[in-house]
Amino acid sequence: MTKKKRIQKGRSDFKHIVANNGYFVDKTLLVKEFYESDDHVLLMPRPRRFGKTLNLSMIEHFFDVNKKESRGLFAGFKISREKAFCGEHQNKYPVINISLKSIRAGDWEGCFGHLKREIFNLYKQHDYLIESNKIKDYDRRNFEKIINETADEKDYEYSLINLSEYLKTHFGQKAIILVDEYDTPIIAGYTNKYYDEIIRFMQVFMGSAFKENPYLGKGLITGIMRIARESIFSEMNNVGVYTLTSLYFSDKFGFTERETKKALEYFGLENDFDKVKKWYDGYQFGDTDNIYNPWSIVNYISRHKEGFKAYWINTGTDPLIKKRIMEPDIDQTYDTLQKLISGETIEKILDENFVFADFETDKELLWTLLTFSGYLTQIKNIENDVYELKIPNYEITGVFKNIVIKWLNVNLKIKRELVISTAEHLVNNRIAEFEKGFKKIMGDTISYFDTAGIPENVYQSYVLGLLAVIGDDYIIRSNRESGEGRYDILLIPHDKTKYGVVIEIKQIKKEDKETDEELYKKINSNIADALGQIEKKKYYKELLAHNIKNIIKLPIVFAGKEPFVTEVG
């Protein structure tokens, strides 16, 4: 009787998973597609935890001449049916496989220390070369400098190409070079202000290994971004770039719907499919749609008794994304995020030639970063580099909501519980309680602004941010035509028995010599005007079209930073 396979988490090592009876989603045909590609070197950017490290480990175990014991691991998988290819190439080449995914540090000294340790570990795997009678004495001394940790920076910069030369000399075959998550130290360098230093290092480390290296048989590089014009790839005309919009290799990272269904059935969870799809599906790579997040699927199968949770987070680009989203002048970005959270799509340019130097000034690059990092997905190519984008699934919607709430909490010191309770008061028609919570939120939020200079759309952005927490149960729209005009904010409940909400925002100035009585009169007048505008322009018409019978018509009048919802005085 065949022993039931188990989920193996925490190690992206092909041999460990297969040899220990782990469940493995068969991506082995990538081996053949990679090797037979017309490109000498391939760059395949994908989001973090979408199977890149495991795929490189699989390729290493297939080709590595030092791992002939791994041949049996491929029995029963698709690549084993390619008899001629396996006979010609399996375990025939020296392989260099180095991962840079853990190379993060707060300064260049720390980063270089991590790089040295990773290169030391790589050389240690091939320390048999020290005893090789085919290696020249001077090359042996260079090899030993890395092993003895007496090498200088130049030795480390050229360590990849040098190792490929030693392997070619020893085995008589050109090396296959695999570099995983090449951009992790670059992103860390940009974030922590040692960008120039890491770029200079990578120019030599990667450039010498992959550009016109006579000892290179084939190369594969993975990461999140295609980092362009950084002089790493710009001078390399032998690199084929296959991003997540490419039609090639589109089903080789992440789980397809068929693969996901098969895994759920194997572990007796087929009845959970609809919820699994809601939570973890939704990505499109190239022309392959319904790609599932593999990290989340594996974790759910392993921990399904705990229910559905958000397992995935892209630690690589998080600091950049949060830095941009949490900037003070985010009113437009907030509006766009709110549309995404409420299930709408947006049209944006995806700049695959990403340049970090432009990230400070070109705020539209945020949408490229979000897409390539896995927070958004393309669903349609509109024209040229313009794509229709959306949040892929419920898991990532939750991530966005938490970013918004964290922004309110960390930057504006607003407690999560207050945000949630205030929003719930609104949608349950507890207007007095809503007004009380909203006054506190807005008072804390814009206390440091010169309120005289705040346009209405900024107030609207903060209201949208507050309402992000109810995005699961409501479609939230802003500045749309409905009836005979454009409402400010509209909440359309998925449950038709719930309240729909239409919000009209007004702003008035507090005059220096104005008495409370005069101010209250002005507030009440504007509240009446806002309600009259909702009625006159029929801003609730879209709610009626959705068969929503219970409608809250809510005026919000800002006097300075203080909001008023009900009449005062």
Predicted confidence band of residue 206 (pLDDT cuts 50, 70, 90): very high
pTM over 0.75: yes
Residue range 26-49, pLDDT digits in tens: 999 999 999 999 999 999 999 999
CA dist 227 and 183 (Å) reads: 8
* The predicted structure's pLDDT at residue 337: 78
Closest CA relative to residue 466, chosen from 405, 527, 409, 516: 405
* pLDDT at residue 91 is higher than 90: yes
> Strand pairing partners for 110?
none
Closest CA relative to residue 427, chosen from 529, 552, 538, 512: 552
Predicted confidence band of residue 113 (pLDDT cuts 50, 70, 90): very high
* pLDDT at residue 163 is higher than 80: yes
Residue range 263-302, pLDDT digits in tens: 999 999 999 999 999 999 999 999 999 999 999 999 999 9
DSSP 98: E
CA dist 436 and 434 (Å) reads: 5
* β-pairing verdict for 95-99 and 216-223: unpaired
Q: Which helix (H) or strand (E) holds 294?
A: helix 294-302
Residue range 122-138, pLDDT digits in tens: 999 999 999 999 999 99
Mean pLDDT of 236-251: 89
Asked whether the beta carbons of 372 and 45 are under 8 A apart, the reply is: yes
Predicted confidence band of residue 452 (pLDDT cuts 50, 70, 90): very low
Mean pLDDT of 178-186: 94
Predicted confidence band of residue 477 (pLDDT cuts 50, 70, 90): confident
Domain 14-241: give its CATH architecture.
3-Layer(aba) Sandwich (3.40)
State both tokens at 72.
């049996």
CA dist 511 and 514 (Å) reads: 5
Closest CA relative to residue 466, chosen from 510, 504, 420: 420
Q: Which residue has the higher pLDDT, 426 or 560?
A: 426
Mean pLDDT of 90-119: 96
Q: How many Cα atoms are found within 13 Å in the side-chain-facing hemisphere of 530? A: 26
Mean pLDDT of 150-162: 97
Closest CA relative to residue 5, chosen from 20, 16, 15: 20
Asked whether the beta carbons of 359 and 410 are under 8 A apart, the reply is: no
* The predicted structure's pLDDT at residue 448: 39
State both tokens at 78.
């698709």
* The predicted structure's pLDDT at residue 286: 94
401-404: long-range contacts, CB 8 A cutoff, minimum separation 24:
401/341, 401/468, 401/469, 401/471, 403/321, 403/322, 403/325, 404/334, 404/337, 404/341, 404/465, 404/468, 404/469
Q: What is the mean pLDDT of the chain?
A: 87
DSSP 242: -
* pLDDT at residue 191 is higher than 70: yes
* β-pairing verdict for 239-241 and 41-45: parallel
* The predicted structure's pLDDT at residue 461: 61
CA dist 156 and 536 (Å) reads: 72
Angle at alpha carbon of residue 450, lines to 444 and 454, rounded to 5°: 90
State both tokens at 528.
């009446």
* The predicted structure's pLDDT at residue 451: 45
**Cα distances (Å, whole numbers) of residue 339 to 288, 314, 343, 394:** 25, 22, 7, 14
Predicted confidence band of residue 56 (pLDDT cuts 50, 70, 90): very high
* The predicted structure's pLDDT at residue 315: 60
Predicted confidence band of residue 354 (pLDDT cuts 50, 70, 90): confident
Mean pLDDT of 322-342: 69
Domain ranges in the chain with CATH number 3.40.50: 14-241
